[in-house]
Structure formats: structure tokens, C-alpha cells
Amino acid sequence: MCRTDLQISSGDLPARVLPIVPGHQIVGRVVEVGEGVGPEFLGRRLGVGWLASACGDCEFCRGGRENLCRKATFTGWDRDGGFASQVVVRADFTQRLADEGDPVQLAPLLCGGVIGYRAFRRTEVGRGDRLGLFGFGASAWLVAQLAIAEGCQVFVVTRDESARQRAKEQGATWVGAPGESLPVPLQGAITFAPVGAVVVDALRALDRGGTCVVNAIHLDRIPEFPFEHLYWERRLISVANFTRQDAAEFLQLAQQIPIRTLVEQFPLAQANQALLQLQEDGIPGAAVLVP
């Protein structure tokens, strides 16, 4: 994630596939606009997330599910991401951000925040319901604040002792380690770890009719489990990035609640160090690169 200057385009640009996934959530100000983009964009503070473009014509785009578009492109994957002091983005795939506030604190909202928001909405939990968060990294930290603000009871399962302490301080109803039995069944659960066994644990913790949402983009494998964990109309679903509508809704809520981010800041020249620390779970929240 990076704070940078933005050059804005009105349409698609040639894509370049990068060998790794760079920082792809960007907060910056517009310094130049392309043909077809109004001058009112100049100087604006905008956010750029993972979804860089979609076709706008397929059944998914027409149905409000542009995140599933087969022609979608992604920041830091199909397009250059946040490992630079300037980046070119499509105007219609940016998010307007308030001029006030530290951009370093805003950047994580465009990553784990908005994707966590979509996962939270897909659980369909509401006020008074019990939501389980399996894993408590940067995304779960933000989801917990949203869920508590909307009146949910939050139950956190994580192997990290310091993360359990943060969950308690944030107001979680119950906090425990993997293998501990939850005191009550859950209406919804979100798994954040890329470990399939955690998904089975979450299913096991659901009440009848509950929903388990897999927030990870990769799982090692989901082990065999008895059908009874899925019976009684329990649901197991995944989340594939987000839509622009998700981002707009979440950013508004984040300002109203307000949601606090947990970040560790790195200069752009130390990007490799930041990636290594993330790989080794050495950062409790989100890493933010600043040019």
C-alpha cells in the first residue's frame, strides 16, 4: 500500500503482468488528467484498490457483481501498482477520499478493510447476532470494529496471544485459541487464514442456518469433514475482491464510526523489508509504503 501521485486516464491502458504482486492499494493526489477526464479531478485525493477495471457489459457487471467480470484487471497484477511515486489509474475506478486525515491511515481501508467489509456483508449477520473471526490480522481488526459498531457480538479465534489481547481491548465478547470450544454457536463466521482446517473449525462453530465466509484468496486445502458440519442449511462461500459500491459504502462507514487502522510505515526503498516482515507475520496490522 502506498501514498503517491496519480495520473488519471479515462479508459483502459495496456496491461503488464508483474512477476510479483506489488502494493496495490494507493492513496494519492491527482497531478495530471488524460483525455476525457474533467479538470475537476486535478488535486483531488483519491484511493485506488485492487479492482482496476471491469468490462461493464457482461452479466456480472450488469448485475452489480463487477468483481467477477472475466475481463477485470487488477492493480499490481495487470497494472503497475503502488511500488512507485506515481501511477496511472482509470478515473471511474477510483474512490473519492476526504482531504483531511493521514493518508497512511487511509490506505489499509482500501485493502483488508473493503474486502473484509464484503465478507462481513456476505455473512448476513445483524444486530445481536454472533460473528466469529478466525484469525485476527489487519483485515479482521477492521471487520471487528465494523461488526461491534453494528451491534454484533464478536468471537475471535487466533493462535497469536498478542492478537487475542488486541481483540479483548477492542471489545470482543469472547476470545480464544484454536482448539478451544466456543461458548455458543455462531450465526456467521469469517476465516482469514490461508489454512483449510480453519474453515472446518468455523463450520463446526456455526449454528443452524449460519454462514461461513472464506476471506482468504488461497487455501492449502480443505480437509475432509463430516456432512453434519454443513447440514441444517449452513452455507460455505468465498469472497473474490470487491466492487466499487462496496468500497464507497465501507469508506463512508469507516468515517462515520470511525474505524481505526493499525499500521507500520516503511519508506518506499524498504519495500522488500516490508514484504519479508509480512511473510513472517512480523507486522500486527498493515504495512504502508511512503515515497
pLDDT of residue 14: 34
Positive or negative, the Cα torsion across 150, 137, 27, 258?
Answer: positive
Q: Is the pLDDT at 3 greater than 80, yes or no?
A: no
pLDDT of residue 13: 40
pLDDT of residue 24: 66
pLDDT of residue 146: 98
Q: What share of the chain is helix, strand, coil (3-state, %, to 5)?
A: 30, 25, 40
Phi/psi for 281 (5° steps) reads 55, 35
The chain-wide mean pLDDT, for the chain, equals 89
Q: Which amino acid is at 272?
A: N
Positive or negative, the Cα torsion across 17, 23, 25, 30?
Answer: negative
Report the first-to-last Cα separation within the chain, whole angstroms. 11
List, in sequence order, the alpha helices (H) in the chain. Answer: 59-62, 103-106, 112-123, 138-149, 161-170, 196-205, 244-256, 271-279
Digit-coded pLDDT (tens) for 105-146: 999 999 999 999 999 999 999 999 999 999 999 999 999 999
Distance CA 261, CA 272 (A): 22
Average pLDDT over residues 17-43: 74
pTM (2 d.p.): 0.90
Q: What is the DSSP string of 199-222?
A: HHHHHHHEEEEEEEEE--S--S-P
Q: Please, what are the domains in the chain?
A: 2-110+261-290 (3.90.180.10), 113-238 (3.40.50.720)
**Do the beta carbons of residue 1 and residue 62 sit within 8 Å?**
no
> By mean pLDDT, which of 13-17, 51-55, 251-255 is the weakest?
13-17
Positive or negative, the Cα torsion across 192, 106, 275, 86?
Answer: positive
Positive or negative, the Cα torsion across 101, 107, 112, 116?
Answer: positive
Digit-coded pLDDT (tens) for 206-256: 999 999 999 988 899 999 999 999 999 999 999 998 999 999 999 999 999
Q: Is the pLDDT at 280 greater than 90, yes or no?
A: no
Residue 155 has a CB neighbour count (10 Å cut-off) of: 22
Average pLDDT over residues 164-192: 97
Per cent of the chain over pLDDT 90 is 69
